[in-house]
Amino acid sequence: MLTAPTFKPLRLPIANGGFENDEVVLSAPVVLAPMAGITNSAFRTLCREQGAGLFVSEMVTARALIERHPETMRLITPGVGETPRSVQLYAVDPTVVGLAVTLLMKENLADHIDLNFGCPVPKVTRRGGGAALPYKRKLFENIVGSAVKAAAPYGVPVTVKMRIGIDSDHLTYLEAAKSAANQGVAWVALHARTAAQMYEGKADWSAITNLVEHLKPTGVPVLGNGDIWSGADGARMMAETGCDGVVVGRGCLGRPWLFADLVQAFEGSTARSEPTLFQVREIISRHGQLLVDFFESEGRAMRDLRKHMAWYLKGFSVARELRSRFGMVVSLSELDYLLSQLEDQQYPAAIGDAPRGRTSHGRPVSLPDGWLNDPDEIATITIDDSVSGG
């Protein structure tokens, strides 16, 4: 039997969500990290049906939200029965993020706000956003403070997710996390890589340990992120680092049952969620229908599903031609036909638990001109946050 990690239940104090005692208590300390083009409400519903946790929307920009861009409004729309409704915002301007949170609060569109300071992709960092932003100490403090202030009258919690820094020469996580804690965030989540690492190598879990110790005097919980491919990985992260919960990203791609696996591991069980190919077949079919409901377009839903197929079938013995046809599926009827061609087999744990998703190699981080000159200077930096989706 695994040793079940000791953890305090993660609590989200929510005043307007109609929850008992005005808070949500996560029975399993697991959070689904937003992934651009992946974690729409269809995928979140699929994951929620597999296990407990908090499931965060795709990242949306504060500016696009206050301008009510149609796709941004679609991205924050929760699935049927999805509670708490969790929205992740990307912003580079304190005023704009305050307006965006106020809009969400006044129109009762969210129960939880997560601020993204971890995205490493060039189109975000070159605007001074995502993982680049914590380097600007005053700007970071003002953005977090503006969001917390706007949400506070409604009793809605604000959390932050970040990386350990821009690169090994510009580590920011300890100072930024302490700043966020002082501004009143409900927790800090740390992806234990720098932005320059992208998704290469192994996450440095020792940084999570350092952050847990650093924030102990504040009482603010720390969630760990990076290289959780199985329930055992999540339990080990909590045991080794002392973190209060885990954030799952790439590990659930093609494996929404990872959340059930994590719940079992947190309970100290050695049982694994290892579906047969026929069981995976049912999940794929369910995913397809959920996507049709979300997009209200069968063609668009199938285009979205295509990128998931290699992840779902990873490790299983499937003919090359059939795999190829899954990657070009155009309708639910064709999907059903292709699924009927699969032969049942046991879950290939050795391969199925392997890393998946983004494998980008490390590279210099794209930054605005002069970004690293002075961590406290922000007035001459021209920044923009008009694109949702990360």
Candidates 148, 71, 70, 83; CA nearest to 109 is 83
Q: How far apart are CA 251 and CA 249, in angstroms?
A: 6
Q: Is 101 helix (H, G, I), strand (E, B) or coil?
A: helix
Q: Are 162 and 190 in contact (CB under 8 A)?
A: yes
Smallest CA-to-CA distance from 259 within 78, 74, 26 is with 26
Q: Token pair of 385, please?
A: 């946050």
CA distance 251 to 139: 32
99 vs 91: CA distance, rounded Å: 11
Upstream peptide bond of 84 is cis (omega within 30 degrees of 0): yes
DSSP 56: B
Closest C-alpha among 130, 87, 314, 118 to residue 203: 118
Question: Is 55 in a helix, a strand, or coil?
Answer: strand
Measure Cα distances from 202 to 164, 225, 289 in Å.
13, 11, 35
Q: Dig out the tokens for 227 from the structure.
A: 């290289």
H or E element, residue 188: strand 188-194
Three-class DSSP category at 68:
coil
Residue among 47, 119, 243, 252 flagged as catalytic = 119
Residue 238 CA to residue 117 CA, distance in Å, equals 22
Tokens of 326: 């899954």
Nearest Cα neighbor of 338 from 349, 351, 347, 328 is 328
Beta bridge partners of 210: none
> Is-catalytic flag, 119?
yes
| Residue pointed to by tokens 């694994």 | 272
**Which residues participate in catalysis according to the annotation?**
119
